[in-house]
Structure 1
Amino acid sequence: MPPPSDIVKVAIEWPGANAQLIEMDQKRPLSSIIREVCDGWSLSGSEQFALRYADGPQLYITEQSRGDIKNGTILRLAISPARAARQLLERIQSHGIDARLEALKELAKLSADPTFAAEFINMEGIGTLARLVESGTHFGEMLAFTLTAFLELMDHGIVSWDLISLSFIKQIAGYVNQPMVDVSILQRSLAILESMVLNSHSLYHRVAQEITVGQLIGHLQVSNQEIQTYAIALINALFLKAPEDRRQEMASSLAQKHLRSIILNHVIRGNRPIKAEMAHQLYVLQVLTFNLLEERMMTKMDPNDQAQRDIIFELRRIAFDGENDPTGTEKRKAMYTKDYKMLGFTNHVNPAMDFTQTPPGMLALDNMLYLAKVHQDTYIRIVLENSSREDKHECPFGRCAIELTRMLCEILQVGELPNEGCNDYHPMFFTHDRAWEEFFCVCIQLLNKTWKEMRATAEDFNKVMQVVREQITRALAMKPSSIDQLKTKLRGLNYSEILRLRQSERMSQDDFQSPPIIELRERIQPEILELIKQQRLNRLCEGSCFRKLGNRRRQEKFWFCRLSLNHKVLHYGDLDESPQGEVPFELLSDKIPVSDIKSVVTGKDCPHMKEKSALKQNKEVLELAFSVLYDPDETLNFVAPNKYEYCIWTDGLCALLGREMGSDLTRSDLDTLISMEMKLRLLDLENITIPEAPPPVPKEPSSYNFTYNYS
């Protein structure tokens, strides 16, 4: 008979003694259990002791966290958090160098524990650490442990960052600005400055005064990718928190310091693979850089502003410079109207009105002017080539450029904040100082080419834009490493190829709507769904690695989860680093019986999404979040690394619970597999028209008086 759900069997260790195997009653007070354990080893003063996990992070167990204890867990009797904090504080303030070093080393490890952190902070421990740093007398390992402990303690959010003194900031900034400093000290100093900037508006201004972009760029030229990652993270934090009027100034400073080329040569094209956190920081930098375009994107053109109107005149002049302007005012106005029509503007009389809609606003005009000045031959060729076509087949350059700019803003999410956990950076945007404008120039040529291939007319404008969007998104998904490689990818994605891809990705609706085909599809569907279910469960048995959502990016933390081969238990546990292959069940210390799982929730319904503040939350993370709710009232929270893993796991968990698999991936797989199976079964009927109804049954014979004579 299984033990009651309130009883967990655990082992408790104590140095120099045999472990105690006890049945822990979760209804009893923790203090009572600790007293009983102490009595077993004849230890007095049980109130001075506490229980900790023996493995993993070795966190203290409290009344709030005791529900996480599972059968078979190994615990350790240890001195209580308050006693440990008091002893460490005394040792840190002692005069013995060795004793202080050991105390700081232990403190750096314990500070990640929220229970210990609360006790240490209540004893003014953070102030003590800050004074040690401000004194400037600690170096090497001792300083590294001090900074580690300080950062871990502050990350619990118990103490406000606004309480940090200016002298502390100057000292930390000094470590970053020193040409030769220990790697671990530099890493933690960069992380502390990043947290200051992100968590306090007043500290942002102080840090910005102490740290220059040039000093941070120097840290990108080292071979240590961890240092590079923290340096870019601090640059991103300064960029993100800068007032709007200073962001453009900061971007100009970064350009003058050649940040882009340094990142390209020392990070992206370095000899080391890009880790997930570095990829995230590059993505954030890419988003923040593109967000500088938002002001122009949301600025309407003022038809009465002569300087803005002069830009349109310049576009006309560059395109039609060879033609002599007529001298008469009326003739000149008529000629301008004709030229603006040839340039493809919707409003031929006053093209400034074409730029009054936001987005893309003035950003579209900026792109057009860049094309006309930097790629003048291409610009003139596009305009004159279309002006020589028949009216119905001409590609309106102005209208296309405006709509294309709007489309590119949507694809690259200009104006949106970076998504936590997203790593979708594009190397090619780091290969050119004017990457956005060059990207536009490539895409406008693609649009013109696709228009010709489709033999489009004005009525086909939206269809052409849909095809161009598909061409661009497919090319970006291939992650071209340069603008030239993007051009190569786009050449391979001509209109004919897009049609072929569309055909291969979806079933022809016309051929598969007859009743016999629909009936065959319905018969096949249960078999295919069972096949998909087995594939999902097999993937769960292989397991997946998930990233922990924690206190920003101090250190990448992972955990792994996989389903037992008999589909009865979910095994999971923490990992020090992302695994390269399958993780054995023996390394996964925790487990959940599938029979205890009550439901699976996703998105905003997940407990860990409700706990996050609105500032830190975003659509991308919500779309990848799901939670397993199990008895009695526990949850196992996930954030999938990508949409594919999200679909695999939500489908697999639903299949385990006997519920419908409703993900987009299941629908896609179902369509693909059913289409393939039906085509195989219908091979013998190729070129034979399948009737809408079965053949008619012949009339009955006039008489049934007939026999066969076999003689």
Structure 2
Amino acid sequence: MSIAKVSVEKFNSPEQILFEFDKDDTLESNVARICNLVGLPKTYVYGIKYQPTKTCDKNHYLSENNVQDLKHSDCLKIAFSLEFIISRTKMNLKNEDPAMRQIAFDDICKLCEDPVFIEKLGESNGDKVILEVFCNDEGLTPEERVALLRTVVHLFTKGYIQDTTQNILQKAFDILKSFNPLLDEIKFTLLLLQNILVNPNENFTEWKQIIIKNLPLLKLTPYVWQKAQPDLQYASLRLINTLIKISDHQKRRELIKEMNLKQNRENMYHHIIMERNYGKDMEHELYILQFYLLSLFNEGLNSKICIDNNTFFTRDEFELNPNDLRPPTILLDFEEEIGASRYSGFNYEQLQQYPRKPSLPNKDCISHLTLEALRYYRNAHAKNFQQSQIEEQLYEPGIFITSERVVNMLAEMFHIGNATPCEHSTFYQPLVFYCPARTPFLLEIFSHCMWLLSRTRREMKVATGVDYEKVMYILKKQVKSALNTKPKNFKSLAAELSNTTFKSVMENKRISEEKELQVLIDTHPCIQELKQKLLKENEEIVLKQRLGILMNGAPFSRVLEKKLQQRVYIKLSKNKKELQVFDQAHNLKESLLVSDITHIVIGKNCDHANLAPKPDLAFSIIIKIVEEKLKCVAKDEQTACYWTDGLLLLLNQGRPEKLSKYYSEELEQLVAMDVRLQILELQNISIPNAPPPEPPLPQVLIPESVL
């Protein structure tokens, strides 16, 4: 029998009763028993809902589907049942009496967020009444429209609206075109359009095309700038991304170009990114928009040109004559002053015109995007480019191959060339939205990467092509680490890249691997089983160590007659059956049988704790026969803890809660070291959480001679 002990507030009264809610019984039976306890008649009029408290903000109705979520100490209240409220609402919405209609709208406004209400409304065909009033009643106030809109949006989300018999779409367009609508009206209208666009039902295909055709971005972008309304910003940006996603290729490109206009990008930067008034959901939408903006580079990335025979450039433009090569002696700082007059700006249309050729081996071809990046680097950062020219030709594999590798690295990092954005990524960059036309984000960051490559090669002391892959691996880590800080301008980006050295990357790599290993040790079931085995083995080791300390002995101050007396030397005999007490001259004064010791008193519980410099230094050995105590004060806390641990273990009283912190720390350290030694060969290897399935038993082989 599954019982939840809850409090129930009476109907229209703050008085409460305690009730044992039987979750194995039906909800109707529980409601009937509650009504019987408070003196209400058994009728469908009453139901049960959560009562919000300081620790629990639940406010929805109970149903057969969620009653198992009920827990001890939850607070409930008796209220009108949803069946009664829905029946009343359906009648009152059609009533001409304003007071009755107001009751209906009040009910809708209170319950439109309740998932149980939405479920009951859809099951009872109440959604059709809601849609009819929403679409056809011209006398609705803005507040009434908001209440109905919220309900319609949740009905769409739950899948209860599956046809286009009511022209909801036209009503949504009317709200957006209306004069000075409420911000909540706009927000829920945008959510409604969003639900229509993502609905997989084919009945809404025509509506989707109408939205794409008749909803210009110019109508949506002003809502993105409403920085005082983050929910409205999120709804509008999400709708923009959805419009781009479901449009055909030509329309999608037009929408992306419109969002890539300098004014739109800068407004996005100033009104959303700089405000930082958003969460992970908004970050994901910014990433999606960034994905679409950077997709303008797709054609340039996918079109290849041969570096030896083409009409676009000559190798002499980017490679030096071998006779002119001299090893650079110093590393130049990154050239902050952009040579704007030498670079005319990036033309996305030019990339579209490049012919697509089949991919050639990397050493023979580069993408048109790489060519544009090299030209930008040469024109905008001439001194740094010359340094890269020399180093790539001296140290291999050459500036063309390295540039192609860097461009592909950035494309992979920003998902350029991917068919769809990542479902959960929040890797957006403010610089994508706030960079001048003459310094395109991708080309500028390419220039920074080429400069950083030169510095990393020097830090790693690489002078040949043998370690080239290692250098590129570290470069990727450096760039990703710098971009994770989301720099807001190129100066901040340069500073972050400068601070991300080879040593810092290796240290971060070590820390990351250590964290992964620790998670594996703490959570993997096989390792937990191994730890239990090693724990028992190491308990024996710690016990031997503590007994060894007792047998070696230690000096203590002894307390007699409530005063600190002479120093004594106490040790455990070799046969572990006696505690021997010596004076300062090492003469044996007395011997105490271990079997006569009843228990050990530690720290503040000792009578003489006030005589010790610190209470933790005091402990008492209680003797059974003579009913006396051997009261001691240790020279330091570790000695006191080691001795009390040893004595408790010797007496078989070593329960974990009685032993000192040193015991648990040392035992944990020993187990951790043993575990790491045991799995040393498995590091950097993925260990499955479950064993592989057992293979089927082999079939019995019958010799042919028997057949």
TM-score of the superposed pair, with normalisation by structure 2: 0.59
Aligned to 1:627: none
Q: Which sits farther off after the overlay, 398-407 or 109-118?
A: 109-118
**Structure 2 counterpart of 1:365, from 356, 364, 367:** 367
Q: Retained in 1: the 8 A contact 2:51–2:77? A: yes
Amino acid at match of 1:153: L
Task: For 1:540-579, list aligned pairs within 5 A.
Answer: none
CA apart distance, 1:435? 1.9
- Using the alignment, how far apart are the partners of 2:429 and 2:80 within structure 1? 51
Q: Retained in 1: the 8 A contact 2:7–2:16? A: no
- Using the alignment, how far apart are the partners of 1:411 and 1:275 within structure 2? 22
Aligned to 1:289: 293
Aligned to 1:23: 20
Amino acid at match of 2:246: K
Q: Percent identity?
A: 18
1:58 counterpart SS class: coil
CA apart distance, 1:147? 0.9
**Structure 2 counterpart of 1:147, from 124, 140, 149:** 149
**Structure 2 counterpart of 1:279, from 279, 283, 293:** 283
2:68 counterpart SS class: helix
Q: Retained in 2: the 8 A contact 1:111–1:153? A: no
Query: Does 2:493 match 1:486?
Result: yes
- Using the alignment, how far apart are the partners of 1:424 and 1:105 within structure 2? 43
- Using the alignment, how far apart are the partners of 2:303 and 2:147 within structure 1? 54
User: For residues 283-341 of structure 1, what are the alpha-carbon distances to aligned partners after superposition, in whole Å with 9 as ceiling and x for unaligned?
Assistant: 232233334545654x35376999xx433x266557689xxxxxxxxxxxxxxxxxxxx
CA apart distance, 1:190? 1.5
Amino acid at match of 1:74: C
Q: Retained in 2: the 8 A contact 1:92–1:103? A: yes
- Using the alignment, how far apart are the partners of 1:408 and 1:31 within structure 2? 61
User: For residues 441-469 of structure 1, what are the alpha-carbon distances to aligned partners after superposition, in whole Å with 9 as ceiling and x for unaligned?
Assistant: 32223224433553432222101101211
1:77 counterpart SS class: strand
Q: Retained in 1: the 8 A contact 2:48–2:79? A: yes
Aligned to 1:196: 196
CA 1:178/1:418 → structure 2, altered by over 3 Å: closer, same or farther? farther
Q: Retained in 2: the 8 A contact 1:7–1:24? A: yes
CA apart distance, 1:183? 1.3
Task: For 1:64-213, list aligned pairs within 5 A.
Answer: 64-135=65-136, 136-160=138-162, 162-163=163-164, 165=166, 167-178=167-178, 180-200=180-200, 201-213=205-217
Aligned to 1:435: 441
- Using the alignment, how far apart are the partners of 1:359 and 1:273 within structure 2? 44
CA apart distance, 1:54? 2.3
Q: Retained in 2: the 8 A contact 1:220–1:228? A: yes
The size of the alignment, in residue pairs, is 482
Q: Retained in 1: the 8 A contact 2:10–2:17? A: yes
Aligned to 1:37: 34
Q: Retained in 1: the 8 A contact 2:2–2:22? A: no
Q: Retained in 1: the 8 A contact 2:377–2:385? A: no
Aligned to 1:241: 246
Aligned to 2:472: 465
2:76 counterpart SS class: strand
CA 1:431/1:44 → structure 2, altered by over 3 Å: closer, same or farther? same
Question: Structure 2 unaligned runs (5+)?
Answer: 322-354, 515-530, 540-667, 674-707
Question: Structure 1 unaligned runs (5+)?
Answer: 322-351, 508-521, 531-668, 675-711
Query: Does 2:46 match 1:49?
Result: yes
CA apart distance, 1:134? 2.9
- Using the alignment, how far apart are the partners of 2:103 and 2:363 within structure 1? 60
CA 1:38/1:379 → structure 2, altered by over 3 Å: closer, same or farther? closer
CA 1:369/1:102 → structure 2, altered by over 3 Å: closer, same or farther? farther
- Using the alignment, how far apart are the partners of 1:81 and 1:105 within structure 2? 14
CA apart distance, 1:241? 2.0
CA 1:244/1:361 → structure 2, altered by over 3 Å: closer, same or farther? farther
CA 1:384/1:264 → structure 2, altered by over 3 Å: closer, same or farther? closer
- Using the alignment, how far apart are the partners of 2:431 and 2:478 within structure 1? 17
CA apart distance, 1:123? 4.1
Q: Retained in 2: the 8 A contact 1:214–1:257? A: no
Aligned to 1:262: 267
Tell which has more relative contact order, 1 or 2 (C-alpha 8 A, sep 6+).
1
Q: Retained in 2: the 8 A contact 1:8–1:69? A: no
CA 1:13/1:357 → structure 2, altered by over 3 Å: closer, same or farther? farther
Aligned to 1:252: 257
Aligned to 2:359: 356
**Structure 1 counterpart of 2:428, from 408, 414, 425:** 425
CA apart distance, 1:406? 2.1
User: For residues 363-398 of structure 1, what are the alpha-carbon distances to aligned partners after superposition, in whole Å with 9 as ceiling and x for unaligned?
Assistant: x62332323443433576567556656965245111
